[in-house]
Structure 1
Amino acid sequence: MAVVSRYVVALHILSWIAQKTEDNNNFVTSDRIAESVNTSPVFIRRILKSLHNANLVIVQHGGTTPGWQLARHADSITLRDVYEAVVEKPLFELHHSPPNPKCLIGNGIQPALNPILTKSELAMKHELEQVTVSSLLHDTLAKNPQS
């Protein structure tokens, strides 16, 4: 699955957990999350593992209420936090193999593109930093005619 899709699924997961556990201290199972995302619980657990490694969710094994919960309030988790948790590569990558250095374009394209792509990714991250999971949840519920 594309990195961007993993990111969107991660946002879905965190919004769903925030909505389900907002007023209590319950844990939710990956099976229940998978129903909302309409995908496999195994795939959900893979993304949850990345979110757990970034300290965005906590897991409880066994006991009376196994499952997942946000590690901190949804107001303090930015979309950039989530992006950095699940996206392992830069947004833009240069050629996988070096272009021809004898070519006028091949020799100069990477040095020309690098600052543009770096600035673009930083701008995107700055925008993601301005939005929290809580505000995404609020906007999601506001746009849903069922709520």
Structure 2
Amino acid sequence: MSETAPVAANSRVTIAAHALAWMELARRRGREVLTSEEVAASVNTNAVVIRRSLGDLQRAGLVSARRGNGAGFSLGRPAAQITLLDVWLAVSPEPLLALHHSEPNLECPVGRGIRPVLADLYDEATDTFRAALARSTVADVLERILS
């Protein structure tokens, strides 16, 4: 396996999980609300990227936004009740694996039969992936980071 991830890899889940874990650590240290700039500093990315991610998380009820004095973001529910599956569903709307964008050659024996076979395998892989994410919470991730 390569030391660097492919450029096309979807990092939205990673950025969102990082943001939520940082927000939970800040909460434990007495800071209920963080600005997008404070979260961006931890993730080491632009605050615009963080605001987009936090917006997705807010629409899913995983974070709350506060306006005006003391503006910023806080967890929408306890970190122990936010699974990584919740995070994935909030920020990654596309399927884990996809079939051809165009119909394969139906005159070819492989082209004729590949879609239903791969669809079944992809569904099984996605179910396994989702189950693995559902077993870990943001609190679990933070505990592993801190240990």
TM-score, length basis structure 1: 0.92
The one-letter code matched in structure 1 to 2:124 is K
Cα shift readout 1:42-98 (whole Å, capped 9, x = no counterpart): 0100000000000000000112x1100001110000010001000111100000011
The answer as to 2:35 corresponding to 1:36 is no
2:122 pairs with 117, 120, 142, which one? 117
Deviation string 1:26-51 (CA, Å, 9 cap, x unpaired) is 21000011011111000100000000
CA distance in 1, matches of 2:119, 2:61: 31
Kept after mapping to 2: 8 A contact 1:15/1:136? yes
Q: Within 1, Cα distance between the matches of 2:8 and 2:146?
A: 26
Q: How many residues align?
A: 141
Identity over aligned pairs, percent = 38
Q: Which secondary structure does the structure 1 equivalent of 2:64 belong to?
A: strand
Residue 134 in structure 1 maps to residue 135 in structure 2: no
AA paired with 1:18?
E
Which 4+ stretches in 1 moved above 4 angstroms? none
| 2:52 equivalent to 1:50 | no
Q: Which residue of 1 aligns with 2:111?
A: 106
Quick check: 1:79–1:129 contact (8 Å CA) kept in 2? yes
Q: Deviations over 1:6-37 (max 9, x none)?
A: 11011000000000012546210000110111
Instruction: State the 1:141 CA deviation.
Output: 1.4
Q: Which among 91, 97, 101 is matched to residue 92 of structure 1? A: 97
Letter in 1 for 2:23: I
Amino acid across the alignment from 2:17: L
Residue 3 of structure 1, CA deviation: 6.3
Code of the aligned partner of 1:80 = L
Match of 2:22 in 1: 16
- Aligned partner of 1:7 among 9, 13, 16: 13
Structure 2: distance between partners of 1:56 and 1:3 = 23
The letter of the residue matching 1:76 is: Q
The residue type equivalent to 1:121 in the other structure is T
Q: Give unpaired runs (5+ residues) of structure 2.
A: 1-6
